Structure formats: structure tokens, C-alpha cells
Chains A and B, each alone.
Chain A
Amino acid sequence: SSELTQDPAVSVALGQTVRITCQGDSLKTYYATWYQQKPGQAPVLVFYGRNNRPSGIPDRFSGSSSGNTASLTITGAQAEDEAAYYCNSRDTSANHLVVFGGGTTLTVL
């Protein structure tokens, strides 16, 4: 199956901009989907498709994609954005399957 690679940890100063990346061959074909997970809670969908943010997700969250790399950008990070972020996509090596990245823990300083 395909793999999606994320940096294990990223930090950002309060109010600054941070980009969380996700790399993998499947991203040449499919858009990444992004989830936020806070400790002890279920994941929450924060961005999907080319340019879609679910209702209730702040507009400081945005996504982009280029080649085999997808990015989730938080513009003006807030303390409440401290969480683990996961990307996923359809798996091109085996259709109808799904692959997740290993997750990025974001620390807001």
C-alpha cells in the first residue's frame, strides 16, 4: 500500500503562521484530507478536497497541494490549535483503500 509521510512534530509561536506537510505518491492523484485530534478526543475533519473547510472550522485553516505534497496552513495560530494533525487520502496502489499519515504534533508556544 501507499504511504503518507508527516513530520512528527512542529512548533509555532502564538499568532504566527505554520505549515504542516504530508507527502506521498497517492497525493499526485488524490487530494489530502486533514484532521485535528486533541488529547482524549476523536479526530475532527478540518480541511478536504481542493479548497473545502467544514462548517465551524475557523478560516485560519487552509489547505494546498503541489505534486506529491499536501499542506495544511494555520494562519495566526491560536493556543487551541495545539493538537495532533493527520492527513489521509485514497490509496492509489490499491483502489478503494485508505492511507493515513503518521501525524504531526503541533505545539503553540
Chain B
Amino acid sequence: EVLLLESGGGLVQPGGSLRLSCAASGFTFRNYVMNWVRQAPGKGLEWVSSISNSGGSRNYADSVKGRFSISRDNSKNTLYLQMNSLRAEDTALYYCAKDRSGISETTAEFDSWGQGTLVTVSS
């Protein structure tokens, strides 16, 4: 069974930083593209970032480019999201999502999701 467990969320002041983690199990982590997707309270889903299976290719939504950095440690089966210069509009539940396919770039087909970790940016 695929399991994705996010952690690292919390309350942070505007301009601050947080690092989210997503511990994966139940599949061969190094073979799959991984993604972060967020959902602001009461709003829809927004794709944030994706990383290729090797970590060599990383892509970001315009809304976070230059502030967020995605990475992975295949030896630890863990995905990360480093979030800097946080803004109030970054407040959301952040989901880790596994790509359905094992190719090197996202297919936009997310077949497994974690339960999310809540990030609140407020003074």
C-alpha cells in the first residue's frame, strides 16, 4: 500500500521559512516523479512543484518560483519543499502527490496523495 506522510507545517510569520517533508513507503520511490499540491482554506487545488525521479529536473508554479525549492532524498524515500519568503497567500494545506507514471517528467496524473500538512502564514 502506498503511503505518503507529510510533516513540517505550522504557523510562520510573513517573510519566514519552513521546510516540508513527505515520507514515502509502499512503492519504489526513486522510480517516480513527485509533486506538491496545495489547497488554501475553502479553495481549490493548486499545483506547486514537481521533481523528476532522479531530482535532476524541477518545475514550479509561477506563484512560488524563486521562493520555493523542491528536492528529494531517494536513499531516505523522502520528498521536501523548502519554502522561503512566505506570504499570507501561501497559507494552505500542502499535499505530497505521487505521479502515476515512472517517466522523468510529470504526467499530471497523481495516483496517491498524502493527508497534507497545514501551513499558516500570519503575524
A residues apposed to B, CB below 8 Å: 1, 30, 33, 35, 37, 42-45, 48-49, 54, 84, 86, 88-90, 96-103
Q: How far is the CB of A3 from chain B (nearest CB, A)?
A: 12
Assuming the contacts A86-B44, A86-B45, asked whether A96 and B108 have C-beta atoms less than 8 A apart, the reply is no
CB-based A-B contact count at 8 angstroms: 62
Residue from the list B35, B59, B95 in contact with A42, Cβ < 8 A: B95
- Residues on B with C-beta less than 8 A from A45 are 100, 109-111
A-B residue pairs in contact (CB < 8 Å), sample of 30: A1-B61, A1-B62, A33-B108, A37-B45, A42-B95, A42-B113, A42-B114, A42-B115, A43-B45, A44-B113, A45-B100, A45-B109, A45-B111, A49-B109, A88-B47, A88-B108, A88-B110, A96-B57, A96-B59, A96-B106, A97-B47, A97-B61, A98-B47, A98-B50, A98-B108, A100-B44, A100-B47, A102-B44, A103-B44, A103-B45
- Residues on A with C-beta less than 8 A from B50 are 96, 98
B 67-104 binary contact with A (CB < 8 Å = 1; else 0): 00000000000000000000000000001000010000
- Residues on A with C-beta less than 8 A from B116 are 42
- Residues on A with C-beta less than 8 A from B113 are 42-44
Q: How far is the CA of A54 from the CA of B109 in the complex (A)?
A: 11
Number of interface residues of B (CB under 8 A): 24
Assuming the contacts A97-B61, A98-B50, asked whether A90 and B44 have C-beta atoms less than 8 A apart, the reply is no
Q: Check A48 against B109 for contact (C-beta < 8 Å).
A: yes
Q: Check A35 against B108 for contact (C-beta < 8 Å).
A: no
Q: How far is the CA of A37 from the CA of B111 in the complex (A)?
A: 13
B13 in contact (CB, < 8 A):
no
Q: How far is the CB of B78 from chain A (nearest CB, A)?
A: 18
What residue of chain B has the Cβ atom nearest to residue A8's Cβ? B44
Q: Check A48 against B100 for contact (C-beta < 8 Å).
A: yes
- Residues on B with C-beta less than 8 A from A84 are 44
